[in-house]
Amino acid sequence: MRGASALVALIIAGCGAKTGLLIPEPELDGGVDAPIDAPLDVPTDTPLDVPEDAPICVPRTFELMTRGSQVVIAVDRSSSMRYDLVGNDPPRGPDRWTLLRDALRGALTADIDRRVEVGAKFFPRPLRPDEPATIDLVCSSAPGLDLRPATRNVSRLLDIFATTEPGGGTPTATALWDVRDFYRTDPGDLPRFVLLATDGGPNCNGAPSPPPPTCLCTGPDPSFCDPRTSPIAGYNCIDQRRTLDVISELYDDLGVPVFVVGIDDPNRPDLSAVLDRMAVAGGRPLPPGAPHRYYSVRRVDDLRDALGEITDAIARCVYTIRPAPTADAEVEIRVGGVPVPRDPSQTDGWDFLVPNRTQIGLFGSACEATAGGGLVDGIIDCPDV
């Protein structure tokens, strides 16, 4: 029994680091259809009847209408979410779990609650009081979503913060597999997004590549990833490949962008580099000149600003355009009468969000320019017309 107790203690101690990557328990030591104006060469009071799937280019002006969208918020519930922003445990102020809840409450406004279908996936799943803290359990993720996307869902999301608490590892890839599977089987017709909020790099893969002890270790020292000193060394290695693969599947295969918000540790830039790669794979990174490609959080204001910017992009700056312009059409988008450049990188300008060209998004300063309520409209011009 003594040996079994020691093994459980070692398992728990291996589940964490100051960055939220398998953090040891603190008590242990060790480790709509838009109105259509007439064609440009027809008097404006002449009606224009164009079927929604018109196969030819029709020159016209149009007003863009905002529409709802769908987002699954993937929330890291690992042990280190009990720490404060600089890694103190016990925290010397609000812990990360509380700060994230409060920032989401502020960002997910009543207007967003009415128009955006919000869902949630928390990871890992919480342990029941009668469950042993085995590595399989502290790294497990409950099947499916904790909250299926729906409008008027924000209060239910916040209730999960109130009724569960942080504990365990960071099985990010496993959790995102469930999000991917949901979007595969329930695609819907709304613009779809994922918002990943984590306080460290992913782990919880018993067979990582590269393997221990050559892997990037998420523990506080290399011994956490040394098979000679830890029977769960692989679980403490960074789970980069699986996580990047599932994020790429969401974005490249399903067209679901993934925003990455990370509470990072300035002392572990190697882990920050993994979050940068995750943000790039998700298709919504910050510009190349930024200190990080993900939304890096080191202060409370960083978290509020990041969530505010992301929810704006998801809710306020997504529009429908119907009939959709044909592939040969030249499209100009304007905000308050000022043309906005198209930006296929979706960083600062406008771009189509889906292949059928029925959805347009504004990014960066173009999205910010809509805050004053200026008209968002456009012109379709056609070759040889």
Spans of the chain below 50 pLDDT: 1-54
**Model pTM?**
0.78
pLDDT at 28: 33
Q: How much is the pLDDT for 264?
A: 83
Q: What is the pLDDT of residue 288?
A: 87
Query: What is the residue extent of each domain of the chain?
Result: 33-66+317-385, 69-316
pLDDT at 266: 67
Question: What distance in Å separates the CA atoms of residue 206 and residue 208, rounded to the nearest whole number?
Answer: 6
Give me the torsion for CA of 72, 282, 108, 123, rounded to 10°: 50
pLDDT at 92: 92
H or E stretch covering 5: helix 2-14
Coil/strand/helix, residue 183 = helix
Residue 190 near residue 68, CB atoms below 8 Å: yes
Residue 21 pLDDT: 38
Please write the tens of the pLDDT for every residue from 308-357.
989 888 887 888 888 889 988 999 999 999 999 999 888 889 998 777 78
CATH superfamily of 69-316: von Willebrand factor, type A domain (3.40.50.410)
* CA-atom Rg of the chain in angstroms: 23
pLDDT for 49: 41
pLDDT tens-place string over residues 169-197: 999 999 999 999 999 998 777 889 999 99
